[in-house]
Structure 1
Amino acid sequence: MTRPMATSTSRPIRLGVTGTDTGIGKTVVSCALAARARVLGLRVAAMKPIESGIVERPVSESGLASDADRLRAACGSLLPLSVVRPYLLEEPLAPMIAAARANVEIDFDVLDAALAQVEQHVEIVLVEGAGGLLVPIDLRVSYLDLFARWQTPLLLVAGNKLGVLNHVLLTVRAAEVAGVPIRAIVLTALSDRDASVAEATNFDALVTLLPHYTILRFPWVDRPDDLDALATAAEVGGLDVLLAPLSP
């Protein structure tokens, strides 16, 4: 594919990576997209504004201990983790709850400043949320509100399993009501076993139910820290379409 181009004077392409649930492949897809962007010669950066539950996460074979570590590595970034991940919370809970239990107040000016640093001198910026779109950051603000604040179109990652149709439709409805555009919906394979009837039919059902949206499929990757494998999966899944600016 010809290298997608972003003009030097334009704001970087922003993508807010959200999901239908937790544990459905947001970080894998984000890292794959970043790795593919680099293969195409694009400068890419990513951030995870708030990350919780680090103590509970096992360290991978690569030594990368958190989602933010993986995102930074996939981007080849030299940014400090304090910028890539401004807030680190120990308990594996929604940010609102984890922050309250840790006596931490999330300052949105801090998040704004981090985004401004992350998007310097790059063409693509990926912002990965936590869990689903309406996960609360504090009592008044969810990730949907944060993406709206940053004018960040969404990449909705949906785990291919029974129930995903409802989860996708609810998420799409919430984004539409808030006026936050969805750039694409990516249906992720959650294992390499034979597909169930639901898993075999979910993609076509989403295409039928949401004919005006871009629906993509992301294959199972058994080496999620292998950037070459992730870049290949992104190419196979058609994610290149996300690396070019939208037509005016």
Structure 2
Amino acid sequence: MEIVFVSGTGTEVGKTYVAQQLAVAKRSAGVRVGVYKPVASGCIRQPRNSETNSATPVAPLVSSDAVALWEAAGRPLNLDAVCPQRFEASVAPDEAARRSGQRVDVDQLTRGADRWRDHCDTLIIEGAGGLLSPIADDLLNIDLFGQFQDAELYLVAANRLGVIHEVVATCRAAALSQVSVSRLYLSATGPTADESSPSNAEQIRRWLPELDVREVGWGQVDWSRGLL
């Protein structure tokens, strides 16, 4: 099973959108795709239905990111398999868990990925927040990535003023942990680009010449042009 770990330079940078479109592109190429978000915060409660695969009488928490990934992958398995740990507060997962009187199950973060082994050729894992954001007590996203042997790390960054610093700082921090970023997706943040957007990719390539930099346009749908 090929594993692709999608992380970001921070929150709200287009990470879920890129992961969605990766799933769509893989499916279009005839690949069986699995999607996995090990833990999510900021979840909402909605009436229980058969698709959530939950037996509890209390309305379950649902991650909108997990739903988007699941739909993009063609609804494989169920939402509990996509995102087994869900918390309500819109803060980092470890803090969201504490506020609900729980803790993130560190073992389940990786164990949940094993559930997909017989059900996909490629598993797309989306982390929570940025690459150096906490995902559990004493565990950052970059630490979780390191637990998936032979996984590729794809970084997503918002193509706007300031992104050069964000990408260079994240990649250099990763290198200090002996982690290599395989690919960067510069994601448009709106229909109108700011003045820095046209030159950001070139600037990043100058500072990080080994990095595979790809640009994602606003509302881009033709993912045959360089997504995979």
Superposition TM-score, scaled by structure 2 size: 0.87
| Greater helix share, structure number | 1
User: Using the alignment, how far apart are the partners of 1:96 and 1:78 within structure 2?
Assistant: 27
Q: Following superposition of structure 1 onto structure 2, how do residues 83-232 of structure 1 map, counting pairs within 5 Å?
A: 83-151=81-149, 152-193=151-192, 195-221=193-219, 230=221, 232=222
Partner SS, residue 104 of structure 1: coil
Gaps of 5+ in 2: 46-61
1:33 pairs with 2:32:
no
CA-to-aligned-CA distance 1:191-215 (integer Å, 9 cap, x gap):
111x332112111101111111100
* CA spacing shift, 1:65–1:48, aligned 2, 3 Å: closer
SS at match of 1:204: helix
Q: Where in structure 1 do 4 or more consecutive aligned residues deviate above 6 Å?
A: none
Alignment deviations for residues 23-62 of structure 1 (CA, whole Å, 9 cap, x no partner): 1111110010100111110111111111111239xxxxxx
**Contact 2:34 2:76 (8 Å CA) reproduced:** no
In 2: Cα distance, 1:130 partner to 1:36 partner: 22
Structure (1/2) with the larger strand percentage = 2
Q: What CA distance in whole angstroms lies between the structure 2 residues aligned with 1:111 and 1:65?
A: 16
Q: Letter of the 2:65 partner, please give it.
A: D
Q: Which residue of 1 aligns with 2:36?
A: 47
Residue 21 (structure 2) pairs with residue 22 (structure 1):
no
C-alpha displacement of 1:108: 2.1
Aligned length: 212
Q: Does 1:239 align with 2:205?
A: no
Matched residues, percent identical? 35
Q: Give, in whole Å, the separation in 1 of the partners of 2:177 and 2:224.
A: 31
- What amino acid does structure 2 have at the position aligned with 1:188? S
Q: 2:42·2:63 contact (CA, 8 Å) conserved in 1? A: no
Alpha-carbon distance in structure 2 between the residues aligned to 1:198 and 1:189: 11
Structure 1, gaps ≥5 residues long: 1-11, 57-63, 222-228, 241-248
What TM-score do the two structures reach when normalised by structure 1? Answer: 0.80
* Partner Cα separation in structure 1 for residue 129 and residue 136 of structure 2: 15
